[in-house]
Every structure is written in structure tokens, then in C-alpha cells.
Structure 1
């Protein structure tokens, strides 16, 4: 029982030193990259969906104009098809930029941490690679 108690006390003494700490400016930069990534992803998906819908609408209008020989439906179909194609093509670089910002934020979260490891001569600092993860438990969408 005494051994278990001593192990728990030793663990609790070493625990605060093993937790990774980030500088405030690094954390702000990570949050900014994540916010940009989320906004770009949302914009890219909206443009992709609207573009694909416009291409589909233009195709349907073109099929209708082909059968009825309506000049209005033919002109509208070309407009919707071209606008949808442009919107779909523009959404691709936005989605790529979103993924790039997400990767930048992930790279900033990888670093090294010093761990005070017990050794025969006492506690000695050792550096280990670490991946810094922060989970906002009380975040609110603004």
C-alpha cells in the first residue's frame, strides 16, 4: 500500500512539469490560422454547392430550351452554366488555401517539451517531441 501511495505522490509531483505550455502569441497565431481555415472552408463549400447547382440548373434549362426552342431559356441556360462553372472553379483554390492554413496551425502545434525525468542523481530535464493539443471546453461561436 505504501508503494502505491509513493508512486501516486511522485506522479503528482512530476505531472505539472510534464504539461506542455505554449506562448500566448503562438496560441493566438494558431487560433487565427484555424479561424481563417474554417471561414475559407465554409466559403469554398458554399461556392462549390452554388456553382454545381447553377451548372445543373443551366443544363436543365438548356434541355428545356432545346425541346421548346425558347430563346429566353437558351440564354438563361448559358448564363447559369457559365456562372456555375466559374463559381465551381473558384472554389477549388479557396478550399486548397483552407487546407493549407489548417496544416500551418497543426505545424505550430508540434514542438518539444521538457520532462523532468527521475535519474539516479536526481531529476534531470529531458527533451521529447510533443504535439500540443488544446481543446476549448467553454468556447462559444460568435
Structure 2
């Protein structure tokens, strides 16, 4: 039994340290994902509402006389809806930038324990870590 425990302890000491992802910036990544989702929903809502307002304004202006109040209201709705669509585009672009920040690419140093003739020694090597958070809605 003692030989088994010693063998298992030896194996666990010689296995390299494996790190799947760097967890140092996890809070920052989650905050960027949350902001990205909110901006994406806001941008899409503004674009849909603006498109609908533009369409209603066009129908009002098209089906009324030049000097009526409906034509003025239609023109105002068209301008307001177009402005909403135009404002929604940078919000969606900003959302994509936040999502891109969340997928961080970092350069770090990882270590592995190597068996040397004089004992165990840590071996440090450069590593490229890519963290891509998937399914942010499930967190």
C-alpha cells in the first residue's frame, strides 16, 4: 500500500502543470461580455424601431397632401426614424468591439516541472493563451 501511495505521489509531482485558461482577467471579460450584450440589444432595438418609424412616416407622407398636418407628421417620423437607425449602427459596432475585447489574446509564461538528474526543477517557457468565452448567456 505504501509503494502505491509513493508511486502516485511521484507521478503527481512529475506531471506538468496544465493551465487551460488564464483566470486573472475573468471579471473584466465577464463585464465586457455583459456590456456587449446590452449594447447589441440596444442597437438592434433602435434600428428596428427606427425602421418602423421611417416606414410609417413614409406611408403617412405618401398618402397625404403637401399642405396637410399628416404630411408634416410623416416627414418628422421619417427623420426621427432615420436618425434612430443611424445612431443604432455605432452602438452595434461598439458592441462588437467589446466582444472582441472579451476574447483576449495574452502572452504569458507557463511552467512545467521537469525531472533532472539533480531533482525536480521548474521549466519556464513562453506560451500564447487564447481565451474565447462561449455562451455568455449561460453564465
Q: 1:90 is matched with which residue?
A: 87
Matched, 1:112 2:133: no
Q: Indicate conservation of the 8 Å contact 2:32/2:101, yes or no.
A: yes
Task: Tell me which structure has the larger Cα radius of gyration.
Answer: 2
Shift of 1:112: 2.8
TM-score (norm 1): 0.70
CA separation of 1:64/1:70 partners in 2, compared to 1, >3 Å: closer, same or farther?
A: farther
Asked whether the equivalents of residues 103 and 133 of structure 2 are also in contact (C-alpha less than 8 Å), the reply is no
Instruction: Tell me the residue number matched to 1:18.
Output: 18
Count residues in correspondence.
124
Is the 8 Å Cα contact of residues 113 and 130 (structure 1) preserved in structure 2? no
Q: CA separation in 1, counterparts of 2:62 and 2:54?
A: 12
- Where does structure 1 lack aligned partners over 5 or more consecutive residues? 1-8
Q: Larger % of helix: which?
A: 1
What TM-score, normalized to structure 2?
Answer: 0.71
Structure 1 counterpart SS, 2:54: helix
Cα 1:130–1:49 change in 2 (3 A) is: same
Unaligned runs of 5+ in 2: 1-10
Rate the CA distance shift 1:101–1:59 in 2: closer, same or farther, 3 A: same
109-118 vs 43-52, greater mean Cα deviation: 109-118
Following superposition, the deviation at residue 80 of structure 1 comes to 1.0
In structure 2, relative to structure 1, the CA distance for the partners of 1:93 and 1:29 (3 Å cut) is: same
